[in-house]
């Protein structure tokens, strides 16, 4: 059972789109004209709820149990997606959950629809204050302050094996922690390091495997 859940969950993680274009410096706006309650309700109304009904009466007891485990795993993977979407997404989601005001609830609902503070139907423009005005082009797969030129120069400076890791679909790029032994002078100089999904999301994947 644990193996099945881990395989399915891993497929979900790997299926989350990695972005081949390298991140440019992100413009931020702390004073955007955030929509109010009525406008947010109107924006939310553009999405039609679609109930999904499934007849599970013919499933065996073991299949019912497996289905519950898959749903539990999916909820964990939702949070992995938030982590991949933007570096501040998880903290923002937690903050929105604590706001019980009508506006706070409307913001939380629209955030969950978009899985972030940028409106998909409005060219990914921010609908919350205190966030980048536009969704970072590299999501949270790359440092937000990294330029394409910096990335390409770094990739060209490391061995072929590390190049394949850095440009692969199942790694994220991070800044090496100051003083960290990066394993090569090139990494230490550039402060960039490629981290496999299995390491970056180890805690979440372990939770899924233990379901």
State the pLDDT confidence band at 12, using cuts at 50, 70 and 90: very low
* pLDDT score at 57: 94
Residues 81 and 45 in one domain: yes
Residues 58 and 130 in one domain: yes
Residues 47 and 114 in one domain: yes
**Angle between helix 2-15 and helix 202-209 axes, rounded to 10 deg:** 140
Closest by CA to 186, choosing from 168, 149, 208, 159, is: 159
Q: How far is it, in rounded angstroms, from Cα 132 to Cα 145?
A: 12
Residues 16 and 108 in one domain: yes
Residues 131 and 195 in one domain: no
* pLDDT score at 180: 52
**CA dihedral defined by 28, 31, 37, 38, rounded to 10 degrees?**
-90
Residues 118 and 153 in one domain: no
Residues 156 and 121 in one domain: no
Residues 102 and 193 in one domain: no
Q: How far is it, in rounded angstroms, from Cα 8 to Cα 174?
A: 26
| Host domain of residue 35 | 2-20+30-138+203-209
187 three-state secondary structure:
helix
Q: How far is it, in rounded angstroms, from Cα 81 to Cα 97?
A: 17
Tell me the pLDDT tens digit for each residue of 16-58: 333 333 333 344 445 568 999 999 999 999 999 899 998 999 9
Residues 11 and 61 in one domain: yes
Residues 183 and 134 in one domain: no
Note the Cα 121 to chain centre separation in Å: 19
Within a domain: 143: no
Q: Tokens at residue 92, please? A: 């923002």
In percent, the amount of the chain with pLDDT more than 70 equals 79
Residues 110 and 152 in one domain: no
Residues 106 and 182 in one domain: no
Place of tokens 């989350």: 16
């Amino acid at each position: 059972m644990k193996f099945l859940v881990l395989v399915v969950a891993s497929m979900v993680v790997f299926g989350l789109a990695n972005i081949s274009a390298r991140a440019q410096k992100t413009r931020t706006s702390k004073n955007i004209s955030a929509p109010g309650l009525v406008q947010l309700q109107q924006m939310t109304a553009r999405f039609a709820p679609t109930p999904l009904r499934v007849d599970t009466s013919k499933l065996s007891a073991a299949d019912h149990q497996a289905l519950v485990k898959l749903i539990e795993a999916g909820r964990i993977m939702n949070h992995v997606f938030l982590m991949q979407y933007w570096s501040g997404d998880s903290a923002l989601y937690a903050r929105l959950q604590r706001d019980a005001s009508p506006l706070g609830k409307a913001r939380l609902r629209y955030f969950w629809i978009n899985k972030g503070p940028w409106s998909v139907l409005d060219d990914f423009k921010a609908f919350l204050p205190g966030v980048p005005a536009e969704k970072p082009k590299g999501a949270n797969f790359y440092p937000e302050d990294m330029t394409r030129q910096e990335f390409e120069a770094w990739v060209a400076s490391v061995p072929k094996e590390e190049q394949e890791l850095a440009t692969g679909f199942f790694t994220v790029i991070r800044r090496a922690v100051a003083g960290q032994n990066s394993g090569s002078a090139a990494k230490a100089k550039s402060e960039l390091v490629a981290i496999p999904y299995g390491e970056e999301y180890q805690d979440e994947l372990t939770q899924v495997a233990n379901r």
